[in-house]
Structure 1
Amino acid sequence: MAADILAIDIGGTSIKTAVLDSQGKLLSKRLRVPTPHPCPPDLLVSLVTDLVQDLPAFERISIGFPGVIRKGRILTAANLQSEKWFGYDLAQALSARLGGCPARILNDADMIGLALIAGQGIELVVTLGTGFGSALFRNGDLMPHMELAHHPVADNRTYDQYLGDAELKRIGKLHWNDRIGHALGLLNTLFHPDHILLSGGNARNIDVALPPNAQIMPDAIGIAGGAALWREDNQLSELFSG
């Protein structure tokens, strides 16, 4: 039976929420608040609880979180600057605060990617915001999550350090775009993807010539990936069982 979904996209710059139908169509305005730093779990749960008071009713919750998730628990949360996240069950905490609605959590780039992909071939989703996010899909199936953000890309700097928002502000658009071109070349060599989908708040700053298989996607539609976490026929369902 269809039930409306509260989608929550947690980023290092902002926390966004909206209510979706089961197909990912927006049923409400998309609300946003700045992400505080540091942002420990109790503070984030309170912020989300306050934010959703202005949204219509929902029966399920989907959470995109900027870190590694295993069996519903958070293993990394670099951009939120609090060690209290390690091992934290955010889905359970938000479910308890928001009326007992069932909740599911996935890496934020993985969730955004579910809204962007066409479901054909090898598709690499890259999110450019506070940091660097990535998600890899094969014929619509989500591959195991890799934290490319923390992998060295140049001069012993990680993708986060090389292409994150702080570095864009430090070196300016021109040099940052040179780095985007370099990184896309490396990603094509590593994955040979059929498509590279570029999203996130800083994708709008890209003005370098893109390889033929890359395109910039609208940032606003990414939150719609929250609906995919509840599709009965979705390959992701095994991540949330048990």
Structure 2
Amino acid sequence: MKTTPSKLQILSIDIGGSSIKATILNSKGDLTMDYKKIATPNPANPDNVVKAINTLVKDYPAYDKVSVGFPGYVRNGVVKTAPNLGNDYWKDVNFRKKLEDALGKDAQVVNDADMQGLGVVSGKGLEMVITLGTGFGTALLMDGHLLPHLEVAHHPVSKGRDYDEYIGDKALDEIGEKKWNRRIRKVFKILKTVFNYDYLYIGGGNSDLLDFKLDKNMKIVTNADGIKGGARLWQEDKHPVTHTAMATPTK
């Protein structure tokens, strides 16, 4: 019997620089089980990551579809960059196909901040989602629709350093929380000026370290909130960008 969209069970996976998390969602994005995690393998090449995912989900309940948030630039399921896992391992890897072959289910793979954005936004106006973790993730949505992904993390922000280098985990370890928070304040001012968002959502493990009051149109969100975006990837009207085919060159 064919599964109807309202009955879909979706395996939602969030791949991070330090851990891989997964849960099962229903079509509304509700967790049907607590999410579990496993350490991201080292080296974090495609084969090792697929093996880790198989190990993590081997005893999970049955699911119909797979949604993956990936820490890098992804186009049509093909990874273009993976700075926190190893660009050399991942460039032009069709990760969607690898997962479909390994798990035997249709899969969607998008940038991790994009998936988190689908899980947390209100769907009204221009909303921006950032993640503060191993690196700096960003997503933009207009009225709940994903906009084309921009790798803001690799834009220079200070003395030739990009955002990953300026406020990522390595910078936090080097300079400490107090100076890191000063840098975050500077970054927030830049984002407010450049993007003129209606609302900013702040996720990632390091969001807990913020020591200053946020504006009224800013909010900290959890990884559990973000992983819910895996369900919205299968709602056709919510993610036109993820299904856009690569243009065929005209002669």
TM-score (normalised: structure 2): 0.92
Pick aligned residue for 1:5 from 5, 10, 13: 10
Aligned-pair Cα RMSD in Å: 1.5
Partner of residue 168, structure 1: 172
What letter is aligned with 2:51? S
Partner of residue 92, structure 1: 97
Shift of 1:241: 6.2
Tell whether the 8 Å contact from 1:125 to 1:199 is kept in structure 2 after alignment: yes
What letter is aligned with 2:18? T
Aligned-partner SS, 1:7: strand
Farther off after superposition, 203-212 or 128-137 = 203-212
2:56 equivalent to 1:29: no
Q: Structure 2 regions of 5+ residues with no counterpart?
A: 247-251
Alignment of 1:185-200 (within 5 A): 185-200=189-204
Tell whether the 8 Å contact from 2:40 to 2:52 is kept in structure 1 after alignment: no
2:185 equivalent to 1:178: no
Aligned-partner SS, 1:119: coil
The separation in 2 between residues aligned to 1:154 and 1:186, in whole angstroms, is 12
Partner of residue 139, structure 1: 143
The separation in 2 between residues aligned to 1:31 and 1:235, in whole angstroms, is 26
2:223 equivalent to 1:219: yes
Partner of residue 78, structure 2: 73
Q: Structure 1 regions of 5+ residues with no counterpart?
A: none
Aligned-partner SS, 1:181: helix
What letter is aligned with 2:158? A
Cα deviation, 1:187-235, whole Å, max 9, x if unaligned, reads 0000111111101111011112323322211232111110011113324
Cα deviation, 1:20-70, whole Å, max 9, x if unaligned, reads 001110011211112123210000000001110121110110011111111
Partner of residue 112, structure 1: 116
What letter is aligned with 2:133? G
Farther off after superposition, 149-158 or 205-214 = 205-214
The separation in 1 between residues aligned to 2:241 and 2:195, in whole angstroms, is 25
The separation in 1 between residues aligned to 2:58 and 2:120, in whole angstroms, is 28
Pick aligned residue for 2:126 from 122, 132, 153: 122
Partner of residue 21, structure 2: 16
What letter is aligned with 1:206? L
What letter is aligned with 1:26? L
Give the 3 Å change call, closer, same or farther, for CA 237–122 of structure 1 in structure 2: closer
Partner of residue 59, structure 2: 54
Shift of 1:238: 5.8
Aligned-partner SS, 2:215: coil
Tell whether the 8 Å contact from 1:15 to 1:32 is kept in structure 2 after alignment: yes
The separation in 2 between residues aligned to 1:190 and 1:69, in whole angstroms, is 23
The separation in 2 between residues aligned to 1:152 and 1:178, in whole angstroms, is 17
The separation in 1 between residues aligned to 2:83 and 2:239, in whole angstroms, is 28
Tell whether the 8 Å contact from 2:147 to 2:241 is kept in structure 1 after alignment: no
Aligned-partner SS, 1:39: coil
